[in-house]
Structure 1
Amino acid sequence: MEIPIWTVMKLTMVMIHLVRAACSSVVLLILPFVVLAKQPSAKVTLDEATRQAGYTLELGRIDLGIQPDSLVTATKAWVRRVKNYPDLPNHLRAISPVYSFTIQDEIDWLTIPLQLQYHLKGKKYKYDRSIYYYDTTSETWKELDSIVSRSDQTVTTEWGALHAQIVVAADTTDPFGPSKIKQFSEFGSVAAASAIVLDEATGDVLYSSHPDSERSIASMTKLMTAYVLFQEGIDLDAIATYHDSYDQVGGSLRVSEGETMTMGDLMYAMVVGSANNAAYALVGNAGYSLDEFIDSMNEVALELGLEHTIFADPSGLAVGNISTAHEYAKLMRAVLQNDTLAEMSATSYYEFTTLNYGNFHDFNNTNPLLWTSGLEITGSKTGYIDEALYCLAMRVEQDDHAIITVVMGAPTLNDRTTESYRLVNWAFDNYAW
């Protein structure tokens, strides 16, 4: 029998309504437990049962947790991404989108606070992170007390507001230090008399062995010499004249009385080639007497808070150039803020020709790890005299994080190089930022 077209249409409409009703029932059943919210906003109407049980509203990586019985009445709640919002101050770097949330209720403030949680999803950041809200009264972004879980990769806070704009941001003035990974492995002992590894951003000590033992630092002294000269405004393009009075024993630049070069050439010779006579030539051509300059070195050390660091000459030949592994690491943190000096110290090879005699000079950096290790070394200085034994300080970067290693009093050149290399790899393998 043929069914009239009108009957078919009516049956079709009935089926559509049944499907819609069924789908609506399913949605009502699952809403209290799951919210699929990849869209720019998420909202929910809370019935009495859900108000009593509590509810988590999710939008992307942000969770808005309404605690059980925290609301007075059954109500509506929503959260959405905001495109137009007040500018963040310069020191804050937004990690999340800016969100706006609203909960309708008879009360103005929740005595049982909301739980706000943002999922970082494995992202690494150099600086501390918190949840911030926009205070409409002061028209400023204000920080909420937040807990960062590195294992769960979340930022969480509790707050009683019913309406606000919020964002997760990193405070670039407050570095966020590294933490040990779950499979952390101790480094063990070193052959060197003292050693330390610091996180550059925070100064956190990641490893140490006799870090406060006072020892002669040999040619690592030269970084302070360079730093003081830069602080005094050295002109690297200025012409310097060499005099025999600058001659020193040990590693030296082979130049003669009256030979001329730039102050920059001398700086590279001192920092890269560790030439002792270059240190004295720099001091003399900068217009200082030796005593005046040594006084300046010690004044700067005190300004940096280095209470166990003393300088006796600009080259490091004197046994009386003293520091500790910990204090020298602090010195490295300060010195390497000068980008020009940092770049010089990590230069593998340098060459120049004297201006008046035309004599060619070249030298490799005294730290072979610069070209053999594959490490991203962005600051370096070696040292050796009999009393100090073998010393090496480095800044090494990986994944936008930097550490400083200092090894002092290593028995052999190989110990100095090998232990520095192992400390770097151990630190990056066993800490997460």
Structure 2
Amino acid sequence: MRFRFPVMFFALLLTLTAHAQAPVASMGNGEYQVVSGDTLWNIAQRIRPAGASMAQVMLAIIQANPSVFINNKTDLLKKGTVLRLPASGEITSLSNSGTSSNSETSKPRVLGDLKPASPDSARLNLASVNAMVIDTRTNEVLYSNNSDAVVPIASISKLMTAMVMLDANQPMDEKISVQIDRTRELKNVFSRLRIGSVVSRRDMLLMTLMSSENRAASSLAHHYTGGYDAFIAAMNAKARALGMTNTHFVEPTGLSEKNVSSARDLTLMVQAAAKYALIKDLSTTPKKDIRFSKPSYTLAFYNTNPLIQNHTWNIQLTKTGFINEAGRCLVMLTNINDRPLIMVLLDSYGKRSHVGDASRIRHWLETGNSTRVPTAAKAYHQRKLSALGG
């Protein structure tokens, strides 16, 4: 048997608040009976001898209890389980980077190679009606709910807009004007950008990704080589090339409910977008003042994802979206417990419900448990599921 130790516990060393722990209550003969609330991490913390790392202690506990830690379930300790507690010598004899042994059952794995365990997805409660979470390193689906339903995706569309524009290799420092003539969805939609004013293509892309500025996205399509119609055709061709079989675009902003996709398809789009360094950079920019000409004016723009301002998050790519037909939407490429993840969250109710779902996913990955979904968001979720026949 090979033992795998979840990398996620090392992140807990940084994120859990330090507090005094009571000594482990031994049953005698170096044994301990698990009580409610016990985790491998806090048991290891309480028995760690001087000079030993948490990695050594947790590995030693796993080695000492092969029948308990099976199939990576190191995050689940059942109340009443009796553990054999390793002696100090057993713990300190282990190396953090693994030791050699002829015994398959006593060979600790190199920590960098160990696969993190996944918590029980049934214990995760979300406001989003359609959702998917994947580990990009292994392509493991950690969570999926209505992930193949074809639904409006609002401004998540702008990630495809960005990729198509960058694929054209047009000069990023070229000054282009704000144009919306062909995007009829923008009629009577408020924007601070003045029609005809001029800014660099790069700043137009920044506004599109960071602030979800609809006139900026429309302008990128209007100034595309081949024109607006060719741009929309390129969006759909790119989707097909990526294997996004449930996706279709009719315009570049996401204001149309006819821009549709599925949570599963959007994991493919996020993976593709992450290959563009500029998309990662611009989508995670917190804020910027942008100066326009013809006429001259300056506007401040901010990221639509408030988690960008939260330094406890490690976000490499993000895009938000909202129209009434799509609900609140969010996609992110992030890193939790040294695990690269794509989150796709579609159709939730409440201004911060999508952000709340991202935090619920993080809490679930770190603890195995979910936090509460607000009542109004939960009721919306249930109504939508009923409409879907679920």
Bin for the TM-score computed over the shorter chain: 0.5 to 0.7
For the pair 1:263 / 2:201, whether they are aligned, the reply is yes
Distance 1:186 1:398, change over 3 A: same
Q: Which residue of 1 aligns with 2:108?
A: 119
**Aligned mate of 1:218, from 124, 138, 154:** 154
Output one character per residue of 1:113-152: Cα deviation in whole Å (capped at 9) or x when no partner: xx7985335x134xxxxxxxxxxxxxxxxxxxxxxxx5xx
SS in 2 for 1:391: strand
Q: After TM superposition, give the deviation of residue 257 of structure 1 in Å.
A: 3.9
String of CA shifts for 1:43-79, please: whole Å, max 9, x gaps.
xxxxxxxxxxxxxxx99822246xxxxxxxxxxxxxx
- Partner deviation per Cα, 1:74-126 (whole Å, 9 max, x = no partner): xxxxxxxxxxxxxxxxxxxxxxxxxxxxxxxxxxxxxxxxx7985335x134x
For 1:235, the aligned partner's letter is P
* Residue from 215, 223, 235 that aligns with 2:171: 235
Cα distance 1:425–1:116, how it changes in 2: closer, same or farther (>3 A)? closer
d(CA) in 1 for partners of 2:199, 2:205: 11
Which structure has more relative contact order (CA 8 Å, sep 6+)? It is 2
Q: Which residue of 1 aligns with 2:246?
A: 308
Report what 2:26 is aligned to: none
Establish whether residue 324 from structure 1 lines up as the match of residue 262 from structure 2.
yes
Q: What are the residue-to-residue correspondences of 1:144-163 with 2, within 5 Å?
A: none
- 8 Å CA contact 2:124–2:361 kept in 1: the answer is no
Contact 2:159 2:319 (8 Å CA) reproduced: yes
1:234 to 1:422, Cα distance in 2 relative to 1, 3 A: farther
Q: Does structure 2 retain, via aligned residues, the 8 Å contact 1:206–1:427?
A: no
* Structure 1, 196-205 or 221-230: larger mean CA deviation: 196-205
Q: For 1:413 and 1:249, how far apart are their aligned partners in 2?
A: 24
In the TM superposition, residue 390 of structure 1 has moved relative to its aligned partner by 0.9
Give the SS at the match of 2:123.
coil
1:351 paired to 2:293: no
* 8 Å Cα contact 2:291-2:299 kept in structure 1: yes
| SS of residue matched to 2:101 | strand
Of Structure 1 and Structure 2, the greater helix share is in 2
**1:312 to partner: Cα distance:** 1.2
- Who wins on radius of gyration, i.e. which is larger? 1
Q: How does 1:263-412 map to 2 (within 5 A)?
A: 263-372=201-310, 374-412=312-350
- 1:360/1:64 CA distance change after superposition, 3 Å: same
Per-residue displacement from partner, 1:195-243 (whole Å, max 9, x unpaired)? 1111122221101111111110001000010011112223221111224
Q: Offset of 1:254 from its aligned partner? A: 2.3
What secondary structure is seen at the aligned counterpart in 2 of 1:211? coil
Larger % of strand: which?
Answer: 1
1:62 alignment partner, SS class: coil
Specify the alignment match of 1:62 in structure 2: 100
Taking the aligned partners of 1:311 and 1:246, their CA distance within structure 2 comes to 14
Deviations 1:10-29 (A, max 9, x none): xxxxxxxxxxxxxxxxxxxx
Map of 1:188 onto structure 2: 124
Q: Which amino acid aligns with 1:302?
A: R
Task: Measure the CA separation in 1 of the matches of 2:265 and 2:180.
Answer: 34
Q: Is the 8 A contact 2:118 2:365 kept in 1?
A: no
Native 8 Å contact 1:250 1:276 kept in 2:
no
Distance 2:237 2:106 in 1: 49
Identical pairs, percent: 26
Q: For this pair of structures, how many residues does the alignment match?
A: 272
Q: 3-state SS of the aligned residue for 2:181? A: helix
Amino acid at match of 2:247: T
User: In structure 2, what is the equivalent of residue 19 of structure 1?
Assistant: none
State the one-letter code of the partner of 1:63: S
| CA separation of 1:416 and 1:241: change in aligned 2, threshold 3 A | same
How far residue 418 of structure 1 moved from its aligned partner, in angstroms, is: 0.8
Conserved? CA contact 1:271–1:345, under 8 Å:
yes
- Computed over aligned residues only, the root mean square deviation of the Cα atoms, in angstroms, reads 2.7
| Distance of aligned partners of 1:199 and 1:250 in 2 relative to their CA distance in 1, 3 Å threshold | farther
Gaps of 5+ in 2: 1-93, 370-390
Contact persistence 2:290–2:301 (CA under 8 A): no
Pairwise CA distance, 1:186: 4.0
Aligned-pair CA distance for 1:323? 0.7
Distance 1:265-1:251 versus aligned 2 partners, 3 A rule? farther
Please state how far the C-alpha of 1:293 moved relative to its aligned partner.
Answer: 1.1
Taking the aligned partners of 1:187 and 1:358, their CA distance within structure 2 comes to: 54
Q: Provide closer, same or farther for how the CA distance between residues 428 and 369 of structure 1 changes in structure 2, counting only shifts above 3 A.
A: same
SS in 2 for 1:179: coil
Taking structure 1 as the reference length, what is the TM-score of the superposition? Answer: 0.58
- Bigger mean CA offset, 292-301 vs 422-431: 422-431
Task: Report the 3-state secondary structure (helix = DSSP H, G, I; strand = E; otherwise coil) of the residue aligned with 1:268.
Answer: helix
Q: Which runs of 5+ in 1 are unaligned?
A: 1-57, 66-114, 126-149, 151-176
For the residue of structure 1 that corresponds to 2:321, the secondary structure is strand
Tell me the distance in 1 between the aligned counterparts of 2:338 and 2:235.
31
